[in-house]
Amino acid sequence: MRTQREVTLPLAVQRDADAPLPDQLVSQLRTLLAQGVLRPGDVLPSTRALASHLGISRGSVVTAYDQLLAEGWFDGAAGRSTTVNPRLHEVHPEPSSPAPPGVEMPVARPPLIDLRPGQPMQSGVVGPAWRAAWRRAADAPVDVGLPALGWPPLRAAIADHLRRMRAVVRPPDEVAITAGGREGLALLLTATRARSVGVEDPGFPSLRRVLTGAGVDVRPLPVDAHGLVTATLPHDPPDLIVVTPSHQYPLGGSLPIDRRQQLLAWASARGVLVVEDDYDSELRYTSAPLPALTALDAAGRVALLGTFAKTLTPALATGYLVVPPQLVDAVTQARSHVGQPVNLVTQRAVADYLASGALGRHTQRMRNLYRRRRAQVVRALRDLPDVRVYPMDGGLHAVVEHDRPEASVIQALAERGVAVSALSDYWAGRGSRRGLVFGFGGPSDADLAAGLATIRDVLSSEDPVI
């Protein structure tokens, strides 16, 4: 049970001022409310304690508290502490101090509906299996050494999960535990000492930032509706390329089998390591999840990056890296230098959750939910003129291309309280398309419906966003 703590109030009174002491307190307390120093639910000092602290009579404090209770700022009753009203924003939606003469106050914007991509629905994760996994993990002994590549039972559970769900048959010894996709990519860069990396264009801005931060030469590789264009792979190849063959991000294409084979042949002939980012692979709606590129790799040229951010929660900050046998020693050495970033309790809990089969059941439930939300997006936007909604065979986001000034559309949505991403932000090299990218996995049902209505209204409006 959460324990509430009193707030220390920065108050001061002047006995020789014209305003009575209770009025001074009321004015200062209103200012603290407006500034956000006092927030809904905060426990206030008792009238006796505050009076003693200020060196004034308790009656002055009681009068001030009573005034703010009557106005709805405070909440209290006999026998319990006085608090800032937990429903303060319903009673006083915009608590603020009066504007100085000649100063125009900013116009309040509507509450934010955050439709930026990359956010799954997390409320369904916590259940009996989840709680039990964490309880058992916390109760286990802590004086256990943690190998560089991670806790062996978790590595074994991930290897089994990948065998069943992604047709990837690899021993646990080739699995390393990471703190997510970006950390896994950084570990690979260290282990391989890569100086040049090819990336899909458009592609993940966050992964590109990992590469530029590491000082490597980033080379954009074009994609089309089916994913990476393997016919144009360079003859002078980079040391490493990062691809999303199961669900290209953000456009959503799935790499056909002939391109997968062409990519593997190209990588084998030129000694290039292919990093398969298995993004959103299990969240597929039009067919069963596709086999991973890694499952087709017979030459040891593919490393697999994966996380539990979309199927469980980004807050878990746990992922995995599956590497070819010849890279195990280099990855182990690189990991030994920086240490294991995921604590033992978390690794135990995830291993328990995986071994129980709960992840598979949870993923199926969420896939059904997201499939319904995907259909909701299509219904809301499909008949808009001059607007193209990209196919959503999987994943948690939608890509909408339109013929309007991109920045104006993004700004118009922001002014109406809806946050989305610009499609042009996903290109690293030349060329881009105008549009927006938004997520449909994380928001509440009400926020998603309101956000879709706003997007539809803005894209169909004839006013100045054009």
Residue 205: which pLDDT band, with cuts at 50, 70 and 90? confident
Residue 115: is it exposed, middle or buried by C-beta count within 10 angstroms (0-12/13-18/19+)?
buried
Which are the contacts of 418, defined by CB distance < 8 A and separation ≥ 6?
A: 112, 113, 115, 450, 451, 454, 455
Question: Which residue in 434, 431, 449, 425 sits closest to 204, CA to CA?
Answer: 425
Cα R_g (the chain), whole angstroms:
28
Query: What pLDDT shows up at residue 89?
Result: 65
The Cα-based distances of 28 to 23, 31, 68, 97, 398 in angstroms read 9, 5, 11, 10, 48
Domain 113-122+370-460 bears CATH identifier 2.102.10.10: no
Q: Say which residue, 18 or 183, is predicted with more confidence.
A: 183
Distance from C-alpha of 143 to C-alpha of 137, rounded to nearest angstrom: 13
Task: Reply yes or no on whether the pLDDT at 374 is more than 50.
Answer: yes
Which are the contacts of 315, defined by CB distance < 8 A and separation ≥ 6?
A: 122
Query: What pLDDT shows up at residue 197?
Result: 95
Residue 230: which pLDDT band, with cuts at 50, 70 and 90? very high
User: In sequence order, what are the beta bridge partners of 322?
Assistant: 175, 304
Residue 96: which pLDDT band, with cuts at 50, 70 and 90? very low
Q: Tokens for 67, please give them.
A: 């005034």
Residue reference for tokens 């991109």 = 406
Question: Which residue in 438, 361, 429, 354 sits closest to 396, CA to CA?
Answer: 438
One-letter amino acid of 441: G
- Confidence (pTM): 0.74
- Cβ(16)–Cβ(22) below 8 Å: no
Task: Reply yes or no on whether the pLDDT at 221 is more than 90.
Answer: yes
Write out pLDDT tens, residues 310-357: 888 888 889 999 999 999 999 999 999 888 889 999 999 999 999 999
- Cβ(257)–Cβ(128) below 8 Å: no
Distance from C-alpha of 429 to C-alpha of 445, rounded to nearest angstrom: 37
Write out pLDDT tens, residues 122-162: 777 888 899 999 999 999 887 778 899 999 999 999 999 99
Distance from C-alpha of 398 to C-alpha of 205, rounded to nearest angstrom: 17
Comparing 169-178, 300-309, 364-373, the range with the smallest average pLDDT is 364-373
User: Backbone phi, then psi, for 399, in 5-degree steps?
Assistant: -115, 125
What's the CATH number for 128-360?
3.40.640.10
Residue 1: which pLDDT band, with cuts at 50, 70 and 90? very low
How much is the average pLDDT of 15-31? 87
Q: Where are the beta strands (DSSP E) in 59-133?
A: 74-75, 83-84, 113-114
User: Backbone phi, then psi, for 177, in 5-degree steps?
Assistant: -85, 135
The Cα-based distances of 25 to 56, 88, 400 in angstroms read 11, 19, 54
Distance from C-alpha of 265 to C-alpha of 259, rounded to nearest angstrom: 10
Is 128-360 the same fold as 113-122+370-460?
Answer: no
How much is the average pLDDT of 56-68? 88
User: In sequence order, what are the beta bridge partners of 273?
Assistant: 240
Give the CB-side neighbour count of residue 177, counting CA atoms within 13 A.
27
Residue 189: which pLDDT band, with cuts at 50, 70 and 90? very high
Start-to-end CA span in the chain (Å): 53
Q: What is the mean pLDDT of the chain?
A: 86
Taking the domains of the chain in order of start, what are their residue ranges? 1-108, 113-122+370-460, 128-360
Task: Reply yes or no on whether the pLDDT at 384 is more than 80.
Answer: yes
Query: What pLDDT shows up at residue 118?
Result: 82
Q: Tokens for 205, please give them.
A: 């801005």
- Cβ(353)–Cβ(125) below 8 Å: no
What's the CATH number for 1-108?
1.10.10.10
Comparing 72-81, 198-207, 221-230, the range with the smallest average pLDDT is 72-81
